[in-house]
Amino acid sequence: MRPVLPLATQTWLYGSAKLLLVLHAAAAIVLIGASTHHSIITVGYLRGTYKLRLGRIYAATVAVAYAVTFALGSIVYPTYRYHVRGLYLDRHAIWASNLFDIKENFAAFGVPLVLGVLLLSRVMKPKEERHLLPPYAGLVFLSTAIIWFNTFSGLAITMARSV
């Protein structure tokens, strides 16, 4: 059972932090799956197999899951920042604290990548516009790499200390 803290040390949505973290992780699971499948579809584009509808569905799923994951992480962040990072990680697991900073920078960098993929997926015709495939594939593969790194980094940080 969680100790009752004085009001001055509670953060916004402190009582819901564990639920929010589980929802954040669930959204990340959807995100990593959709981005991986989108990468597989993109490899098909490069090889001449065009599952355009499926590629568009995965691009949209990645964009929505990224937004949900990002939003849930932002909501739980104040509790994490004070109760986990401030009181524990910065003193006892500096590696996890530093990894979190790297993860969050990558997450912010991923936002325009995911939006670019979504926009390109809506207008690109890979069969006719082969010149757009390398930049599109680069955006898809880079965003997928960021998503994989962030998911596993988040798990490692959570194993060090959770909300």
Q: Give the model confidence (pLDDT) of 95-154 as tens digits.
A: 999 999 999 999 999 999 999 999 999 999 988 999 999 999 999 999 999 999 999 999
- The answer to whether residue 43 is domain-embedded is yes
Q: Give the model confidence (pLDDT) of 89-108 as tens digits.
A: 999 999 999 999 999 999 99
Q: What percent of the chain has pLDDT over 90?
A: 83
- The answer to whether residue 10 is domain-embedded is no
- The answer to whether residue 83 is domain-embedded is yes
Amino acid occupying residue 118: L
Separation CA 63–CA 65 (nearest Å): 6
Amino acid occupying residue 79: T
Separation CA 67–CA 31 (nearest Å): 10
Q: What is the pTM of this model?
A: 0.90
- Who has greater pLDDT, 129 or 4? 129
Residue 78 belongs to domain spanning = 15-160
- The answer to whether residue 2 is domain-embedded is no
The count of C-alpha atoms lying within 13 angstroms of the C-alpha of 29, restricted to the half-sphere facing its C-beta, is 6
- The answer to whether residue 1 is domain-embedded is no
- The answer to whether residue 8 is domain-embedded is no
Q: What total of structural domains would you count in the chain?
A: 1
Residue 72 near residue 24, CB atoms below 8 Å = yes
- The answer to whether residue 61 is domain-embedded is yes
For residue 158, CA distances in Å to 8, 63, 105 come to 25, 24, 18
